[in-house]
Structure 1
Amino acid sequence: MLKRLFPYAQKHRKYLMLACACVILETVFELVIPTLMADIIDIGVANSDKGYILWKGAQMIICALLALILGIMYARFAATAGQGFGAELRKDEFERVQNFSFANTDHFSTSSLITRLTSDVTILQTAISNGIRPLVRAPVMLLMALFFTFTINPELTMVFVVVTPILACGLFVIVRKVGPLYRLMQASIDQINTVVQENLNAIRVVKSYVREGYEEEKFKKMNIALRDNSEHAFRTSVWNMPLFQYVMYTTIICILFFGGQMIFEGVMKVGELTGFLSYVMQILNSLMMISAVFLMLTRSIASCERIIEVLDEVPDIHDPQNKDLIVNSGDITFHHVYFKYKTTAKEYVLSNIDMHIPAGSTIGILGGTGSAKTSLVQLIPRLYDVSEGEVLIDGHNVKEYSIEHLRDSVGMVLQKNVLFSGTIRENLLWGNEHATDEDIDWACHVASVDEFIHQFPKGYETDLGQGGVNVSGGQKQRLCIARALLKHPKVLILDDSTSAVDTATEANIREGLATLKETTKLIIAQRVSSIQHADQIIILDDGHINAIGTHDELLKNNSIYQDIYYSQMEGAGL
């Protein structure tokens, strides 16, 4: 599982290798110190040789200083490698998400994707930054310390033959139980992020309905669930420490008992037993580090699985091999189109859509709630792909155009207007980053943005705040229309994009759009007045085309259009 992510560390392999080298050398110098200490006791102290003691003491200090310097260097190299790995992985995961279609995105919750891009990646990069040391140090220390203990006293070293299997069995049981608990803990983080995200996005609704108490209770439940899952996971993992302490102290007692007897028998010296005990502590510490690595890897694997789910998600919308095709006029044809959001769904959202929209024409789309108006227009820029049939632009299937060019040729103002943190100018330049001041003034004039832009002291440099909180709903809609116009699209789709503006402003926008003779315009609206001047009006009913015609034709012959028209006229008091 973790091997899948190794390529992300390739760019920082140099730092990984340097970090490993520093750990190995640091461990070697630390392992030399007990041998020097044993020499001081058995030779220097036994012979009262101060010169020998000072010389060996100086060697111990040098080894300790070198180990310290190497430890500092390791920390620097490991941090560089870990943070670099995290940045590469996060970048690739984010790019993968950007390539998702709406259908792919529907497989994950927004909060889950955020957790996988942040918390899960952080766990992996921390595992690299903090895990290289025990991962490399523990085996080296274990093998070298075992070698030194064996050279000191082979018989006493046999204690570890009994100890190691006990530790291995205990660690196996702990790791097996804690793995699923870590996965459950990360899922709980997803849930709590969902609650927080929904609350912050809808904070005005929460306050207007005085539902703070309900939201607090909902958050409390998720928070308690996260706490309980985390406690369960960590309660299981901490059994690792008591197990090792029990084995460690038992081992020390056994070695002191058997070693003491050997000293009395004259088989072993005091200095040798002191050095042997130092190596025993290092062996036990190395075993403890190995167990900690296993626990860390267990949690890392849980995060790794979640990240790989994102990386392995195959976008269901692909670019064609030939990307040279260009949208020239914006002529649109729906040829027996059927569509449903999930292949497993029993019913189609759109059924047998068959129509032709001439280039440069203005088309109104009208229908009740749930009639699939938005679903229809989302097929044109391939936000979703058709289930059956085909959508053609300029006589070519939309699948034959590169996704980038197709979506650049289609300006779409979605039903939910979205502005980003930054200035008005920065938001407008989303439509065309190379737009000149004249282009911006033109787009703002057509979208009637110029009616309010001068009310702001800073004009286009006015900061909109997060999500455009500093402008009204109608102003936000007009800014989104202007942003789409800056693309100079061949096809312009307005999905109920003037619902928050007054009728006079809407009339001005409609007049401005009428000047775009070379742009095919599709306008979804709830008000008949918004589309009654369109060249053709499409009536959708439960995913089917009920009728197509002009305002006068539909008003004369179509019952659905008549009901909508007369109910709105009556509501307007006309």
Structure 2
Amino acid sequence: MLKIFKIVPGKVKLYFFIGVFLLLINVVTSLLVPMFMSQFIKLIAQGSNSKSADIVLFQKFIIFRGQYDQTIKALIILTLSTVIISFITSLASIIITTWAGNETTNFLRDKLYKKMQKFSLKDIASISQESLITRVSNDVAQYWDFLISSTSTLVRAPLLIIGGTVFALLTDMTLSVSILVIVPILIGLIAFIMIKAAPLMKKNQVVLDEITKEVDENILAARLIKIYNLKDMQEKKFTSTNDKWLKLQVKSNNIFAIGHPFFFALINVVLVLIYALAGIKIWNGFDDYNYLATINIFIEYMFLISFGIVLLSQYLIVFYRAKVSCGRINQVLDFKFTNLFVEDGEYLDKDNKKGYSIEFKDLNFKYFDTSKEKALSDINFKLLPGQTLGIIGPTGSGKSTIANLLVNNFEYKNGSIRIDNKEVNKINSKSLHENVGIVYQEAMLYSGTIRSNLMFAKSDASIDEINKAMRVSCAIDFIQTFEDRLEHPVEQRGKNLSGGQKQRLSIARTLLRTPKLLILDDSTSALDNITTNKLLKGIKDEYDCTTVIISQKINSIKHADLILVLDESKIIGKGKHSELIENNDWYNKVYLNQLQKLEE
């Protein structure tokens, strides 16, 4: 927790300390109020017939002496002034510390987000997407609770306990015996509650990750759930996880709930003990009309001590929850990510007129070092500048892995991958991403307009460049049907567009960057054959680039200069379409099957 606070900006820390200082003044004035209130009881008992009266603190220190009516007025002014100071410092402290807390959480979320931006796909998978979401949202919120509690409760509670105890001892030593009864019992109760509840709170955060994961999956797969009538099954699955969270929450809350009735019962017992001790003292001959005021002020301090202990117990609940959250936040901040960003690497030739060459040599790749099976095994091929590479194979054969390795999304250790005769992991990352474009099967569109989504690729793109990209990608076909054309709204994830429309818009966006190497990772899967052929021909004719086409449809890759057939992470066939038809059984079987479906 302190580790996180150390990285907070100095200005924010200063505001926290100002808030704490104001809170100190508030607590001191709060401790003085009961003492002033008890003086009213003493003056009432003394009577207005007295010629003079005093305002005495701790039965020893006279702070004012005068006529009876003057003393009453002075006491009223002192009490009201103390209450006003207490109110103002409390309000100011809350405003300042809340602002500082919000600034801290804003800073922390920003830092987490920037750190996660550096994560590779492998790093994200090792923590999980849903856990990262929970850490940025819920865990940071828990830390906010901790900060606010630390600058209020953690400061207030010890001062109330210590200050109340000191003031109570100065008020009456005999009655202070009751403190020896209540304090150890309350501390023991708090310790018991914390020991029992801490493991439950830790489990609760883990289950919360599971809930986030299931909600995310159900939202993204809403159509699939409806199509296959999986609603009941998914509801049961979510209810099971939610019930698991509920049981842990109820169990921990029940443990915390034990303290409240026990606390109030203990207070009543202590009150009886105070009155019993006072009665014994009077029985033994003590006779002082001021003793009623002494009993009253002592009870007030007992309540302040008890209140401080209860506040401390509530703070410990927040503390343990935040401790779990801080551990999870620190795991992200301290995470040794796979640094795939190359700052001082080689630059690709952006003025290249033909496109880049590609060469894979003796490549073997695993997603995780502990994995038994390879994702790619003994991959060797070479593609000349301006040529087209087609990749086909069953699901899980390693097609998309090749695409991700070409844009350096994963770290490879065995073998070589070269673009334009430069090792991929030694190419400057900015240069790589500016000159190599990739379009994934799942088109990622942001809420906004068609224009704003296109401009992500090139913010200063001219209207001619935009029109060319839309025409070649065949996106112009559907954009022209909208009255507002480029200003047509796009909902989050492009929910108001069809699958084919989203894919064409994604391809147009990538073409705007005029990449020298274009990778289409099954990104024409939602397009019909006529549109696909028209799109691929347009790219070949109007853009000077090397193209990699990953597809399950042979029609999309049959005109490629080189086709790779992958199965179980290996190349089981390599050549042109006509060659593979003759000498590769898997390719020939798929081709005949797809041809038959087209004829039907």
Q: TM-score, normalised by structure 2?
A: 0.91
Tell me which residue corresponds to 1:255.
274
Q: Verify: 1:153 aligned to 2:166, yes or no.
A: no
**Structure 1, residues 498-553: CA drift from partner, whole Å, max 9, x if none?**
12212221121111111255322100122222112212112222211223222233
The structure-2 alpha-carbon separation of the partners of 1:11 and 1:400, relative to structure 1 and needing over 3 Å to count, comes to: farther
Contact 1:156 1:258 in 2 (8 A): yes
Contact 2:346 2:422 in 1 (8 A): no
Contact 2:340 2:409 in 1 (8 A): no
Tell me which residue corresponds to 2:463.
437
Contact 1:319 1:401 in 2 (8 A): no
The secondary structure found in structure 2 opposite 1:233 is helix
Tell me which residue corresponds to 2:54.
none
Tell me which residue corresponds to 1:61.
80
Q: Verify: 1:303 aligned to 2:325, yes or no.
A: yes
Task: Return the offset for 1:562.
Answer: 2.4
Tell me which residue corresponds to 2:286.
266
The structure-2 alpha-carbon separation of the partners of 1:405 and 1:326, relative to structure 1 and needing over 3 Å to count, comes to: same
The secondary structure found in structure 1 opposite 2:571 is strand
Task: Return the offset for 1:317.
Answer: 3.0
The structure-2 alpha-carbon separation of the partners of 1:10 and 1:267, relative to structure 1 and needing over 3 Å to count, comes to: farther
Q: Verify: 1:536 aligned to 2:562, yes or no.
A: yes
**2:510 paired residue among 484, 488, 496:** 484
Tell me which residue corresponds to 2:63.
none
The structure-2 alpha-carbon separation of the partners of 1:318 and 1:267, relative to structure 1 and needing over 3 Å to count, comes to: farther
Tell me which residue corresponds to 2:32.
32
Task: Return the offset for 1:120.
Answer: 1.6
Give the letter aligned to residue 154 of structure 2: L
Within 5 A, what are the aligned runs for 1:68-217? Answer: 68-217=87-236
Task: Return the offset for 1:412.
Answer: 0.7
Aligned-residue sequence identity (percent) comes to 30
Q: Verify: 1:420 aligned to 2:442, yes or no.
A: no
Task: Return the offset for 1:26.
Answer: 0.9
Distance 1:245 1:387 in 2: 66
The structure-2 alpha-carbon separation of the partners of 1:476 and 1:131, relative to structure 1 and needing over 3 Å to count, comes to: same
Contact 2:149 2:318 in 1 (8 A): no
Tell me which residue corresponds to 1:325.
347
Tell me which residue corresponds to 1:549.
575
Give the letter aligned to residue 322 of structure 2: S
Q: Which range moves more in the overlay, 522-531 or 554-563?
A: 554-563
Q: Verify: 1:18 aligned to 2:38, yes or no.
A: no
**2:475 paired residue among 449, 452, 474:** 449
**1:316 paired residue among 332, 338, 345:** 338
The secondary structure found in structure 1 opposite 2:493 is coil
Task: Return the offset for 1:426.
Answer: 1.4
Contact 2:171 2:294 in 1 (8 A): yes
Task: Return the offset for 1:186.
Answer: 1.9
The structure-2 alpha-carbon separation of the partners of 1:402 and 1:178, relative to structure 1 and needing over 3 Å to count, comes to: farther
Unpaired stretches in structure 1, ≥5 consecutive residues: none
**Structure 1, residues 155-207: CA drift from partner, whole Å, max 9, x if none?**
43343234333222221121111111112222222222222222221222222
The secondary structure found in structure 2 opposite 1:390 is strand
Q: Which range moves more in the overlay, 387-396 or 412-421?
A: 387-396
Tell me which residue corresponds to 2:400.
374
Distance 2:485 2:256 in 1: 58
Task: Return the offset for 1:454.
Answer: 0.8
Contact 1:45 1:53 in 2 (8 A): no
**Structure 1, residues 435-463: CA drift from partner, whole Å, max 9, x if none?**
22222111111101111211011101111
Contact 1:360 1:517 in 2 (8 A): no
**1:460 paired residue among 486, 489, 501:** 486
Contact 1:83 1:129 in 2 (8 A): no
**Structure 1, residues 373-417: CA drift from partner, whole Å, max 9, x if none?**
111111111111224222122222222123343233221111222
Within 5 A, what are the aligned runs for 1:389-428? Answer: 389-428=415-454
CA RMSD between the two structures: 2.1
Task: Return the offset for 1:273.
Answer: 1.9
**Structure 1, residues 106-161: CA drift from partner, whole Å, max 9, x if none?**
12333222222111211211222344211111122222222222222234334323
Q: Which range moves more in the overlay, 265-274 or 444-453?
A: 265-274
Aligned residues: 574
Task: Return the offset for 1:559.
Answer: 3.0
Distance 2:287 2:575 in 1: 108
The structure-2 alpha-carbon separation of the partners of 1:501 and 1:184, relative to structure 1 and needing over 3 Å to count, comes to: same
**Structure 1, residues 468-505: CA drift from partner, whole Å, max 9, x if none?**
12222111111111111112222110011112212221
Tell me which residue corresponds to 2:548.
522
**Structure 1, residues 305-340: CA drift from partner, whole Å, max 9, x if none?**
222222232211333462463455532221211112
Contact 2:207 2:245 in 1 (8 A): yes
Q: Which range moves more in the overlay, 421-430 or 557-566?
A: 557-566
Tell me which residue corresponds to 2:51.
none
Distance 1:182 1:401 in 2: 46
**Structure 1, residues 47-80: CA drift from partner, whole Å, max 9, x if none?**
5223312320221112112211112112211210
Give the letter aligned to residue 557 of structure 1: N
Distance 1:404 1:252 in 2: 73
Contact 1:333 1:355 in 2 (8 A): yes
Contact 1:9 1:84 in 2 (8 A): no
Unpaired stretches in structure 2, ≥5 consecutive residues: 49-67
**1:232 paired residue among 234, 241, 251:** 251
The structure-2 alpha-carbon separation of the partners of 1:436 and 1:103, relative to structure 1 and needing over 3 Å to count, comes to: same
Distance 1:402 1:40 in 2: 79
Contact 1:327 1:406 in 2 (8 A): no
Contact 1:40 1:52 in 2 (8 A): no
Task: Return the offset for 1:263.
Answer: 4.1
Contact 2:105 2:140 in 1 (8 A): yes
Distance 2:185 2:45 in 1: 39
The secondary structure found in structure 1 opposite 2:489 is coil
Task: Return the offset for 1:27.
Answer: 1.0
Give the letter aligned to residue 285 of structure 1: F
Task: Return the offset for 1:85.
Answer: 1.2
Q: Verify: 1:289 aligned to 2:315, yes or no.
A: no
Give the letter aligned to residue 253 of structure 1: V
Q: Which range moves more in the overlay, 326-335 or 448-457?
A: 326-335
The structure-2 alpha-carbon separation of the partners of 1:259 and 1:392, relative to structure 1 and needing over 3 Å to count, comes to: farther
Distance 2:278 2:300 in 1: 13
Q: Which range moves more in the overlay, 321-330 or 292-301?
A: 321-330
Distance 1:423 1:282 in 2: 60
Q: Which range moves more in the overlay, 152-161 or 473-482?
A: 152-161
Contact 2:149 2:315 in 1 (8 A): no
Distance 2:339 2:93 in 1: 45
Distance 2:545 2:171 in 1: 89
Task: Return the offset for 1:301.
Answer: 1.0
Contact 1:9 1:81 in 2 (8 A): no
Distance 1:120 1:79 in 2: 17
Contact 1:340 1:387 in 2 (8 A): no
Distance 1:324 1:70 in 2: 60
